Structure 1
Amino acid sequence: ATGASVNPLGETTEEQLETSHRKLAEAHKMASLGRLAAGIVHEINTPIGSILSNNETIRRSFESLRKLLSAAAEQNQPPPPRTLAVLETLASLTDIDKIACERIMGIVRGLKTFARVNESDIQKVNIHEILINTVKLTNCVFRRRINVAMEFDENLPQVECYPGLLNQVFLNLVVNASQAIENEGNITITTRLEGESVQISVADNGTGIPPEVRPRIFAAGFTTKPIGEGTGLGLTISREIVEDTHGGKISFDTEMGVGTTFHVWIPVRQPRSQENG
């Protein structure tokens, strides 16, 4: 018999390989979320604490307002001047609560985007939205230590891609960049159109990648992190997502003591979309 071998579940060798890659990506995604979890919980707890505190103040203010208005009504008098001050306090607190809720919603949106790793359909998306969601998630972990600057080409076209998978790539690159910075530092994310592809660069001013490590940087299982802090699969999976899944390219420039920049190129249109369109 000729052709691809088939396992008892009816999958060809190619399908088995694709299933394995999908499971590997899912496992790495969960490991990444686990490392971000503590920061995400703290980031959500802070605005929730603010909302709860404000809620108690609002409750007391309404009670005070009720008494002021009741007393004025009993004496057929206009509302006292203090009424305006109470109303201003209430308005201010509701504004603060709105900001806190938007902060929580932003984090949740980022998590929802990151959770869409297994989307089966290519979508046309604004790559900047994916990057912004990634930064929101990572800011939960290192926002007080690292400044993230985003320098985007506002004329960038929408990109046909698997957004959940690219979110995983960018998350991995930004987290790696933060770990390369020992104390305080900067990460710069830039985008630009290069031919028929969109280029995304993630630059840090960290320690740089040692020369002896560079040839193995994309190798499966290779990591410079302590045991328990990395799977050694992040850049391997990132390369598969960029190059095998999207037909793009990933590379890096690095200099010891200066920093590292990872470059990702994603075609604006995917081959199957071109065939259909």
Structure 2
Amino acid sequence: MNADPHSELEAARRELDQVREQLVNASRMAALGSLLASIIHEINTPVGSILSNNETMLRSVDTVQKALTPVAAESKELARAGRLLEMMRGLAEVDKLACERIASVVRGLKTFARADDARPRAADLHELIGNTLKLVGCEYRRRVNVVTEFGDLPEIECYPQRLSQVLLNILVNAGQAIEGEGTVTVTTALEGGRVRISIADTGHGIPPELMPKLFSGFTTKPMGVGTGLGLSISKQIIDEHGGTIDVDSEAGSGTVFHIRIPVEQAGTERAPQNSERKDPS
């Protein structure tokens, strides 16, 4: 029985539209990376100046306090000056913490700003996850509690920017799936020659009718909230890593995404690893 040419044409058109959207998204990501690199530079420069000036002010406050302490009891004015200096120290410490928070977020942005090499490179998976969690902080605000359960992992060979995009897509979806307060749990484990990343949320779950076409694009987003291509692109990126991505979900009971990728990518050589590993936090 011959296939309906109109149906075949419509299917080809839908596939072409999806590919075109993926290419547009890739182009936007490249442009975003370039824009982020410029923004990072513009943020780092004043933040660096503020931190430097802040350190100078703290040292100056220390110097004045040491000189004032022996004579502070001699008059009310000197005692009041001592209290003002202590208040200035407290404000300066708060400013320092705020600037360090900004610097921490900017470091997370660098993962997305840099262009990947033509070949995979070694990366600390927990560092990638940590940087991405910093970026979704605005999405989660204080209503979503994040729990991390990290296993003992070696460095993995991957395309860090692309893998970070996958993590960002799933973590943002997890936050959007939670109405009100809830929890997102990120778990990692070593399974033979692969690492597993599981991202679980306590959200509303995925309707059964969407599960078979979850990674095909244009299926999960309500009108006006993105294109729905995030999971389709995520699967493509994980496929490029030689890995798998699957999901367990039940409407009303939350969702768990499982990502598995090889520790080593085919055709690459691993450099000797340093015996000391960075703290994933």
Identity of aligned residues (%): 49
List per-residue Cα deviations over 1:182-233 (Å, max 9, x = no partner).
221110001010110110010001111111110000003x223223312121
For 2:106, the aligned partner's letter is V
Match of 1:257 in 2: 252
Match of 1:266 in 2: 261
* TM superposition shift of 1:95: 1.5
* TM superposition shift of 1:165: 0.5
- Quick one: which of 205, 209, 221 aligns to 2:206? 209
Does the 8 A contact of 1:113 with 1:167 survive in 2?
Answer: yes
Does the 8 A contact of 1:149 with 1:188 survive in 2?
Answer: yes
CA distance in 2, matches of 1:27, 1:135: 22
Give the secondary-structure state (helix, strand or coil) at the position aligned to 1:240: helix
Match of 1:91 in 2: 89
Match of 2:234 in 1: 238
For 1:25, the aligned partner's letter is A
For 1:252, the aligned partner's letter is V
* TM superposition shift of 1:110: 1.5
CA RMSD of aligned residues (A): 3.8
Q: 1:139 to 1:276 in 2, by over 3 A?
A: closer
Which runs of 5 or more residues in structure 2 are unaligned? 1-18, 33-42, 273-281
Does the 8 A contact of 2:210 with 2:219 survive in 1?
Answer: no
Give the secondary-structure state (helix, strand or coil) at the position aligned to 1:212: helix
CA distance in 1, matches of 2:209, 2:271: 45
Give the secondary-structure state (helix, strand or coil) at the position aligned to 1:81: helix
List per-residue Cα deviations over 1:145-185 (Å, max 9, x = no partner).
211111111x2111111111111000000011111112211
Match of 1:25 in 2: 26
Give the secondary-structure state (helix, strand or coil) at the position aligned to 2:208: coil
Match of 1:137 in 2: 135
Match of 1:189 in 2: 186
Match of 1:198 in 2: 195
CA distance in 2, matches of 1:171, 1:90: 39
Matches within 5 A, 1:66-85: 80-85=78-83
Does the 8 A contact of 1:209 with 1:260 survive in 2?
Answer: yes
Does the 8 A contact of 1:26 with 1:117 survive in 2?
Answer: no
CA distance in 2, matches of 1:210, 1:200: 23
* TM superposition shift of 1:94: 2.0
List per-residue Cα deviations over 1:19-71 (Å, max 9, x = no partner).
9966543436879xxxxxxxxxxxx9xxx9xx8xxx9xx8xx98xx79x98xx
TM-score with structure 2 length normalisation?
0.70
Give the secondary-structure state (helix, strand or coil) at the position aligned to 1:191: strand
TM-score with structure 1 length normalisation?
0.71
Does the 8 A contact of 1:28 with 1:233 survive in 2?
Answer: no
For 1:123, the aligned partner's letter is R
CA distance in 2, matches of 1:229, 1:117: 27
Does the 8 A contact of 1:251 with 1:263 survive in 2?
Answer: yes
How many pairs are equivalent?
Answer: 228
